[in-house]
Amino acid sequence: MNDYTITFATLNCVEYTKKCVDSLIASGVNPKKIVAVDNGSTDGSQDYLKNLNIGQVILNVGNLSCGVAWNQGILANQSEWTIVMNNDVVVPNGFAQRLIQYAVDHNLKIASPARVDGLLDYDYEGFYKNAESEMHDVARYGSSNAVCMCIHWSLFMQIGFFRANPTLLGFEDGIFYDAVRRAKVAHATTGRVWIHHFGSVSQDHMKMVLGIPGNEVLVKVNDRKLYNQSWIERKLYRHDLKRSHRKWRGHEIKEHNMTLHGVRQNGSFIWL
């Protein structure tokens, strides 16, 4: 599985980007397979990226949105597989190869790793080794997420790329996954690979720059209209999604005393 690219977008938050890049290289990723796209950072991110010996660095003149940046990274190499991920993530050993292999073995066009959000105040290496052993055969089919998504090139040919609209500010992934669901594309989250996600630091920074309170969404839109859904369609979708999450969580807690999505709070894991 050598035909792959890893790409992420940045908008400031350079310290998280450094942790992300360091963990990717430590995991065994060839730096030449990494494409970083910066959306007009002013905190030294661009200087840091320019001095990296990675595959490609794309510097945008301003914040063109995640959708634009993700597309730039995907199109830079046009690999069979592209792992699109946040820049506030750290990854385990063998991360890319193992995630791609899981997708191949299970005939998936998108695969996401299990994850913990929040502070990295625990022994990550010890944790992910135990979690990957315990949750090796656990998967949530029909569920993956934009924090980290391993995508096969054929999917872009089937449903298109991310919506390239700077005014969306956070809905690009939702629109993409809505198209995935409508096309009945096979996708899943796997317990065979575990990442740590520091949280929505990129969005929090964007809110600060735009003067938006931290407890508000980046942009207020009628997502039902954005996804071209009727009122009843949206209601039924949300009902089914909540029911699926309750089912997944209940089964995983019962069988493993943990789930594929945890949050680190006050020194403890909260399982979602």
| 4-271 under CATH 3.90.550.10, yes or no | yes
DSSP structure class, residue 145: B
Which tokens in the block code for residue 216? 């508000």
For the chain, what are the domain ranges?
4-271
Contact in structure between 248 and 260 (CB atoms under 8 Å): yes
pLDDT tens for the chain, residues 1 to 272: 579 999 999 999 999 999 999 999 999 999 999 999 999 999 999 999 999 999 999 999 999 989 999 999 999 999 999 999 999 999 999 999 999 999 999 999 999 999 999 999 999 999 999 999 999 999 999 999 999 999 999 999 999 999 887 776 667 888 899 899 989 999 999 999 999 999 865 556 555 555 556 565 544 445 556 666 676 766 676 777 788 889 999 999 999 999 999 999 999 999 99
Classify residue 184 as left (phi > 0), alpha (psi -120 to 50) or beta: left
**Rounded alpha-carbon distances, angstroms, from residue 145 to 3, 32, 51, 180, 218:** 22, 25, 30, 12, 18
pTM: 0.90
Please state, in angstroms and rounded to a whole number, the distance separating the CA atoms of residues 7 and 146: 12
